Each structure stands twice: as C-alpha cells, then as structure tokens.
Amino acid sequence: MIHNVAITSAALFAVLASAAATIDKRIVGGVAAKEGEFRYIVAIYDEKGDRFCAGTLLNERSVVTAAHCVDKAHHVKAGTLNHKACGVTVKVASGKKHPNYKSNALHDIGMLKLVSAIQESDRIVFAKPSPKGPIPLASSTAIVAGCKGPDNPIRRDS
C-alpha cells in the first residue's frame, strides 16, 4: 500500500511539475500559508542549515520533492511552516532523481529517504492520494505550496 501511495503521489507530482512550464507561476508572489494548513509539507535544509526547498511527506521515511533539491538535501523539518519554530528534524539518508532529469524543468522530481521515522501527529500527516474520479478540467483550480530560499515563508496559491 505504501509503495502504491508513493508511486501515485510521485506520478501526480511529476504530471504537475511537467505542466509547470505552461501554468501561471503565481506561487512566487502567493500568500503566506497558515500554520497547520499543509501538515504534510516538510522544509528541506542544506548542510549549513539553510532552508532551500520543500517536499511532501508520503510516509514515515519518504519525501517527494523536486529533483533539483536532492543533491543538497541534508535534513528535513516537519510539523511547522516557520523555519525558525520547533518541529521534527530528521537527517536525509539518501536521495534519487528522476532518471531523465537534466537540470531543466522537465522530470524535476525526486525522492528522499530519511534516516529515521517521522510519526504522524496533530501537526504532521502523510499526504494522501486524491480519490479516484474524473480527471480535473484544465480550468479547475488547484492549490499549490512551496518556498524559495531560507528567509521566505512557505507560500500558497491557487
């Protein structure tokens, strides 16, 4: 089951990331997400302790993120959107990029495996795939979340 969730989530993320070239990139402006709004989002930090990417917690040891985030990923923090607040911090054991990723927007998806488990709590949940149903129309509204750089908050846009 966990394998299916990871594949489903990774496939969905890949589709959204591949479509990103044609989507209005308003997330840069976006609005600051509210604490608790995206309890499955983790912040990804480099070895110096700078937050530089975000990811989605799929299960206790797996995070899906962008391929361009994999090489520098040192540890993740779950349970808060504020990088200065307390949360659950776990080191990254390994990472893998999509085999066709070539440092451009195409195939920009990767997976991180964590050294130890992150447990679900009132502040942390694992991402769940959407229920099966019709494919959303191109005019549908989606909510996305992400961050850019150590001093920018997790932002959301629709």
Per DSSP, the residues of 56-89 read: EEEETTEEEE-GGGTTT--EEEES-S-TTS--EE
**Higher-confidence position of 11 and 67:** 67
Q: Which of 12-26, 53-67, 91-105 has the lowest mean pLDDT?
A: 12-26
Q: pTM to 2 decimals? A: 0.75
The pLDDT score that the predictor gives to residue 153 is 57
Give the residue carrying structure tokens 């989002």. 41
Largest Cα span, the chain = 44
Mean pLDDT of the chain: 80
The pLDDT score that the predictor gives to residue 136 is 83
Which residues, 6 or more positions from 83, have their beta carbon under 8 angstroms from its beta carbon?
A: 43, 51, 77, 150
**Nearest to residue 59, comparing CAs of 111, 131, 109?**
111
Specify the pairing of strand 41-45 against strand 75-78. Answer: antiparallel
Model pLDDT for residues 65-102, shown as the tens digit of each residue: 999 999 999 999 999 877 777 899 999 999 999 999 99
The pLDDT score that the predictor gives to residue 133 is 81
Q: Number of helices (H) and strands (E), helices first, in the chain? A: 1, 9
**Nearest to residue 42, comparing CAs of 120, 132, 104?**
120
Spacing of C-alpha 91 from chain mean position: 16
The pLDDT score that the predictor gives to residue 27 is 55
Q: Which fold has domain 39-129?
A: Thrombin, subunit H (2.40.10)
The pLDDT score that the predictor gives to residue 139 is 87
pLDDT of 134 higher than 80: yes
The pLDDT score that the predictor gives to residue 84 is 74
